[in-house]
């Protein structure tokens, strides 16, 4: 048997992520002892109506989330226990709600930092209703072989090591969540393990005291001895001693109290839990508590280190007197399935990757571009063109190449509101569309007729150079197989009205001592085409393309330069329209040639 938590315990968890984590731990225990999950519902208003998925073995169980305790117990009439994981400022309200529900008999509050007055009010309210309010700051309650409430007991491996899958003979009550597992472990190593272990919380005035649980343990025939782990401050241990000494008790009591170090510390210095406050005139000190327990007949080892042997001694006596029998260990225990991540870490499985990347790795403390940490690139003076080089061409480009790219970006960042990309973005912005969608609207204008000729221009100039064509051969080839030469021709610029951007870029690149076969070829082509018609000049797309091919960028990346630089402009246009609070655009009637048929009568439907 056990106290407080048993195989009939059905739980509602009040709270969000922390509560879900607890439910996962509880599910691990349920799986270990081969019982269904004991968490029936969550109460967490922001997520009401959703479900939380709790892994159980290799499956997933969906647990519903409700807005109120009343809704939860209405849908799950077996719920009798609540675990409170909500924040300290709302914990009292949540705890009261649970206590006031007639279905719920036990409320265990895990929340830390609950104001003392709130905790006292909760404790008093529970006593009035004849219910149990455990905590606050409780690590949980665990009954070996039957029920776990909260994360007490720790990880799955620890549950197994501490033999929590089957019942022992020792009850445990601790104020310290951190020590609960230690005591459970000691009980399983020096004796046959525990019945129930309770974390009552380290606050000054927890909702329940040792005595209420000692009474329950006294009435639980399976529990033969109880270990209490106390600390200086308050009077919980004195009350336990008083209870134990008041009459002959069936259970044996073993106790340790911390805080002896206080005696040799500078006056007034105290630490540990909030509850570990120095009492007046020696009351509440570790020494007086230990003495009180000893006097009442409890076994009080002199140090924590001697606790294990004291438990062993008690267990041997219990064995000798026939009160307990050596436990029988189960032949096979369920094993918690490993997650893929764990199994991979242990080199137990190989998973075929879904995608492959060769440029970027963000798994460390910062992203690496083609192996170079981003911060190191920054700190060593590299700039955005180098990042483009690494991510688009997997190489660390030179300072000179970076300068060319920088100039290309600056020259093509924006070409005014009238080009189709900017116009589309402005139109979308005026219609109230968000930034990313508006920019995307402008971006999809990039195609064969607007800004999308960079890749194709690069491709065909390169084709000509690679195949050692002369200009005439090239123009003939294009006419026959492709069509107009991409990168040649402009809507508004011409020989008489040249494009300054092209002149600027060509002038800069030619001033460098680098080989530019594509650019040279493109300029040759321009000479021939412009002689035929004076607007068939080399345009920005063609110039960018030729230069970028010359410095080695892959053909398929070339349009990217236009997309990237023009994005700067498109964002600018969107922000500009927002700033002006621009109104919805409607095309003026006079800009439309209504070439549709004149108004006429609709014929009857046949």
Q: Which stretch binds other proteins (CB under 8 A): 169-177, 424-432, 457-465, 556-564?
A: 169-177
Measured from the CB atom, the residue of 192 and 203 that comes closer to other proteins is: 203
Q: How many residues bind other proteins (CB under 8 A)?
A: 67
Minimum CB separation of residue 224 from other proteins in Å reads 22
Q: Which of 76, 273, 386, 573 is catalytic?
A: 273
259 near other proteins (CB under 8 A): yes
114 near other proteins (CB under 8 A): yes
Helix ranges, 49-130 (H): 69-75, 91-100, 116-129
Contacts of 34 (CB under 8 A, 6+ apart): 334
Contact with other proteins (CB under 8 A): which of 31, 44, 66, 185? 185
Q: Which stretch binds other proteins (CB under 8 A): 213-221, 296-304, 433-441, 513-521?
A: 296-304
Q: Record the tokens describing residue 285, joined without a space.
A: 């000190």
Q: Which stretch binds other proteins (CB under 8 A): 38-46, 268-276, 379-387, 497-505?
A: 268-276
258 near other proteins (CB under 8 A): yes
Measured from the CB atom, the residue of 16 and 234 that comes closer to other proteins is: 234
DSSP code at position 145 = T
Measured from the CB atom, the residue of 287 and 415 that comes closer to other proteins is: 287
What sign results for the dihedral spanned by CA atoms 587, 593, 598, 602? Answer: negative
Minimum CB separation of residue 287 from other proteins in Å reads 11
Please spell the DSSP secondary structure of 569-606, one letter per residue.
HHHHHHHHHHHTTPPPP---GGGS---SPPP-PPPPP-
Measured from the CB atom, the residue of 159 and 464 that comes closer to other proteins is: 159
Catalytic, 75? Answer no
Contact with other proteins (CB under 8 A): which of 247, 248, 267, 600? 267
Contact with other proteins (CB under 8 A): which of 49, 130, 305, 381? 305
Our separate counts of H helices and E strands in the chain read 22, 16
229 near other proteins (CB under 8 A): yes
What pairs with residue 55 in β-bridges?
Answer: 60
Residues 483, 583: contact at Cβ < 8 Å? Answer: no
CA nearest neighbour of 541 among 488, 462, 475, 483: 488
Please spell the DSSP secondary structure of 339-361, one letter per residue.
PHHHHHHTT------S---SSEE
Contact with other proteins (CB under 8 A): which of 273, 386, 490, 501? 273
Cα–Cα distance, 333 to 443 (Å, whole number): 60
Minimum CB separation of residue 439 from other proteins in Å reads 37
Contact with other proteins (CB under 8 A): which of 102, 271, 322, 379? 271
Cα–Cα distance, 427 to 421 (Å, whole number): 10
Measured from the CB atom, the residue of 261 and 512 that comes closer to other proteins is: 261
Q: Record the tokens describing residue 11, joined without a space.
A: 């739980």
Minimum CB separation of residue 213 from other proteins in Å reads 16
Q: What backbone torsions phi and psi does residue 50 show, to the nearest 5 degrees?
A: -90, 180
Contact with other proteins (CB under 8 A): which of 115, 327, 517, 572? 115
Count the alpha carbons within 13 Å of 602 in the hemisphere toward its beta carbon. Answer: 3
Please state the separation of Cα 528 from the chain's center in Å: 62
Cα–Cα distance, 67 to 65 (Å, whole number): 7
Please give the residues from 121 up to 160 whose contact with other proteins meets the rule CB under 8 A: 121, 123-124, 139, 151-155, 158
Cα–Cα distance, 186 to 427 (Å, whole number): 73
175 near other proteins (CB under 8 A): yes
Cα–Cα distance, 32 to 147 (Å, whole number): 11
Catalytic residues: 273
Residues in contact with other proteins by the rule CB under 8 A: 21, 25, 88-89, 112-118, 120-121, 123-124, 139, 151-155, 158, 161, 174-182, 185-186, 202, 204-205, 209, 229, 231, 234-235, 256, 258-261, 263-274, 276-277, 286, 302-305, 308
């Amino acid at each position: 048997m056990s106290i407080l938590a048993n195989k009939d315990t059905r739980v509602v968890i009040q709270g969000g992520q922390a509560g879900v984590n607890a439910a996962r731990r509880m599910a691990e225990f349920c799986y270990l002892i081969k019982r269904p999950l004991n968490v029936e519902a969550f109460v967490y208003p922001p997520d009401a109506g959703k479900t939380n998925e709790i892994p159980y073995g290799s499956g997933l169980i969906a647990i519903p989330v409700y807005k109120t305790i009343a809704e939860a117990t209405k849908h799950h009439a077996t719920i009798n226990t609540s675990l409170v994981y909500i924040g300290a400022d709302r914990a009292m309200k949540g705890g009261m709600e649970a206590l006031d529900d007639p279905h719920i008999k036990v409320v265990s509050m895990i929340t830390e930092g609950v104001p003392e007055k709130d905790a006292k009010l909760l404790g008093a309210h529970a006593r009035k209703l004849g219910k149990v309010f455990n905590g606050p700051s409780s690590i949980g309650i665990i009954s070996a072989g039957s029920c776990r409430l909260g994360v007490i007991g720790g990880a799955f491996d620890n549950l197994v090591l501490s033999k929590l899958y089957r019942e022992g003979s020792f009850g445990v009550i601790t104020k310290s969540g951190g020590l609960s597992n230690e005591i459970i472990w000691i009980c399983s190593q020096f004796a046959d393990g525990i019945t129930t272990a309770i974390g009552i919380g380290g606050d000054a005035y927890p909702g329940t005291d040792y005595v209420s649980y000692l009474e329950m343990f006294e009435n639980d025939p399976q529990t033969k001895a109880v270990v209490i782990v106390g600390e200086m401050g308050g009077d919980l241990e004195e009350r336990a001693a008083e209870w134990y000494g008041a009459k002959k008790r069936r259970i044996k009591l073993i106790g340790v109290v911390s805080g002896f170090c206080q005696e040799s510390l500078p006056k007034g210095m105290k630490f540990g839990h909030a509850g570990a406050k120095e009492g007046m005139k020696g009351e509440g000190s570790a020494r007086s508590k230990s003495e009180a327990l000893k006097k009442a007949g409890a076994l009080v080892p002199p140090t924590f280190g001697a606790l294990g042997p004291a438990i062993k001694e008690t267990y041997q006596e219990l064995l000798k007197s026939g009160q307990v029998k050596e436990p029988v260990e189960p032949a096979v225990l369920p094993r918690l399935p490993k997650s893929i991540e764990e199994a991979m870490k242990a080199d137990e499985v190989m998973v075929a990757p879904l995608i492959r990347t060769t440029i970027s790795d963000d798994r460390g403390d910062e992203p690496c571009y083609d192996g170079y940490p981003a911060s190191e690139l920054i700190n060593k003076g590299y700039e955005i063109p180098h990042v483009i080089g690494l991510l688009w061409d997997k190489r660390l480009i030179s300072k000179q190449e970076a300068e060319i790219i920088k100039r290309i970006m600056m020259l093509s960042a924006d070409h005014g509101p009238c080009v189709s990309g900017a116009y589309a973005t402005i139109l979308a912005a005026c219609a109230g569309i968000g930034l990313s969608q508006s920019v995307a609207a402008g971006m999809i204008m990039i195609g064969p007729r607007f800004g999308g000729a960079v890749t194709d221009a690069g491709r065909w100039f390169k084709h000509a150079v690679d195949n050692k064509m002369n200009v005439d051969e090239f123009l003939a080839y294009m006419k026959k197989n492709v069509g107009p030469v991409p990168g040649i021709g402009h809507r508004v610029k011409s020989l008489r009205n040249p494009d300054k951007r092209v002149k600027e870029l060509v002038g800069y690149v030619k001033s460098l001592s680098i080989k530019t076969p594509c650019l040279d070829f493109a300029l040759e082509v321009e000479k021939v085409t412009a002689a035929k018609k004076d607007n068939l000049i080399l345009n920005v797309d063609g110039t960018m393309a030729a230069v970028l091919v010359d410095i080695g960028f892959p053909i398929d990346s070339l349009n990217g330069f236009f997309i990237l630089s023009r994005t700067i402009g498109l964002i600018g246009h969107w922000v500009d329209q927002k700033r002006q609070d621009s109104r919805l655009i409607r095309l003026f009637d006079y800009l439309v040639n209504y070439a549709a048929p004149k108004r006429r009568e609709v014929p009857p439907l046949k």
